[in-house]
């Protein structure tokens, strides 16, 4: 596709994402991921995953990143109270500059993803682009450094400890068992390509964040379910038994949960902009999956 068209689409996607807000935009991406995943599993020729869910308009590197960076800018300018608030619809600011920043970073997220793919970086380059854009936003609009600012009296934590740590790991492993099991069931009951199940897992988790948006204490889990389903699918496709595939899915989902916890503590604590922990965890975990399988 012509680069000019791509940039125009990316700009429009970034502005639209900013208008909606980061989390609402991401939830909508999840809806298209589920629809696209079903189309792919059914063998339909329409590529809704590449065109819509992970594409140049609604992909997280455009739709979500544009909103995140627009919020960071709005926070710096005082248009909103917290530049890291991804639940807030920035339409309420009524500021054209906020929307334009969203559009600019929609284009940037798109170009970074394309560059990473051309370089052959062996991970989820959309997730890596979201992380990179978050870091850029922190440097441009934040005041507390990439890893947050702590006083001399505060102890920096790099991961949870005790009960919260084990809660995250157990939750991650069990979510991985669920989606690894879905992969195994598809493999044993159909002749379809099982790889697109990762999109169902990702989309299901993204849609579940509607409960977070509406005030419930619902966790982000797409950095858990997506690597779990992907690892299970790749393991089974490589010759592992369904049982082994399910367990492998659980292990990599647990790894995703671990890295998500670390990313929260390292990048998203004591800060004033948002660097997305799930995207960070996905980039690391999918890199490990691709290098192993």
pLDDT of residue 45: 86
> What are the residues whose beta carbons fall under 8 Å from the beta carbon of 89, sequence distance 6 or more?
19, 20, 21, 24
Q: Which of 240, 237, 227, 202 is nearest to 26 (CA)?
A: 202
Half-sphere exposure of 121 (CA within 13 A, CB side): 16
Per-residue pLDDT of 168-184, as tens digits, reads: 999 999 999 999 999 99
pLDDT tens figures, 234-264: 999 999 999 999 999 999 999 999 999 999 9
In contact, 221 and 170? CB cutoff 8 Å: no
What is the DSSP secondary-structure string of 129-148? HHHHHHHHHHHHH-SS-TT-
Measured distance CA(59)–CA(253) in Å, rounded = 22
- Asked whether the beta carbons of 291 and 122 are under 8 A apart, the reply is yes
Residues 195/290, Cβ–Cβ less than 8 Å: no
* pLDDT at residue 189 tops 90: no
Q: What is the pLDDT of residue 1?
A: 66
Nearest to 100 by CA among 141, 66, 61: 66
pLDDT in tens, 84-113: 999 999 999 999 999 999 999 999 999 999
Structure tokens at 32: 């298209």
- Of 8-12, 39-43, 58-62, the one with minimum mean pLDDT is 39-43
pTM of the model: 0.96
The mean pLDDT value for 151-162 works out to 87
pLDDT band at 270 (very low <50, low <70, confident <90, very high): very high
**Can you state the angle between helices 197-208 and 162-189, rounded to 10 degrees?**
140
| pLDDT band at 56; cut points 50, 70, 90 | very high
pLDDT value of residue 179: 98
- The full DSSP string for 49-65 is IIIIITSTTTSIIIIIH
Mean pLDDT of the chain: 96
Asked whether the beta carbons of 237 and 65 are under 8 A apart, the reply is no
């Amino acid at each position: 596709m012509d680069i000019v068209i791509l940039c125009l689409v990316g700009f429009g996607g970034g502005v639209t994402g900013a208008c909606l807000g980061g989390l609402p935009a991401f939830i909508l991406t999840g809806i298209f991921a589920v629809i696209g995943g079903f189309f792919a599993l059914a063998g339909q020729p329409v590529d809704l995953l590449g065109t819509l869910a992970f594409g140049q308009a609604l992909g997280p590197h455009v739709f979500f990143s544009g909103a995140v960076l627009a919020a960071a800018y709005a926070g710096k300018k005082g248009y909103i109270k917290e530049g890291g608030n991804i639940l807030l619809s920035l339409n309420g600011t009524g500021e054209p500059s906020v929307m334009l920043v969203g559009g600019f970073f929609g284009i940037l997220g798109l170009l970074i993803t394309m560059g990473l793919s051309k370089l052959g970086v062996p991970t989820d380059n959309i997730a890596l682009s979201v992380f990179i854009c978050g870091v850029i936003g922190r440097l441009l609009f934040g005041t507390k450094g990439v890893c947050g600012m702590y006083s001399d009296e505060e102890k920096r934590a790099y991961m949870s400890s005790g009960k919260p740590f084990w809660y995250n790991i157990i939750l991650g492993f069990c979510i991985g068992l669920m989606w690894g099991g879905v992969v195994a069931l598809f493999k044993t009951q159909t002749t379809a390509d099982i790889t697109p199940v990762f999109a169902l897992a990702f989309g299901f988790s993204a849609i579940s964040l509607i409960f977070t948006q509406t005030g419930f204490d619902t966790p982000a889990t797409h950095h858990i379910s997506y690597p779990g389903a992907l690892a299970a699918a790749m393991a089974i496709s490589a010759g592992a038994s369904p049982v082994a595939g399910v367990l492998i899915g659980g292990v990599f989902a647990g790894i995703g949960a671990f890295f998500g916890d670390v990313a929260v503590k390292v990048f998203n604590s004591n800060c004033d902009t948002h660097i997305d922990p799930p995207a960070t965890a996905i980039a690391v975990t999918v890199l490990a999956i691709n290098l192993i399988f």
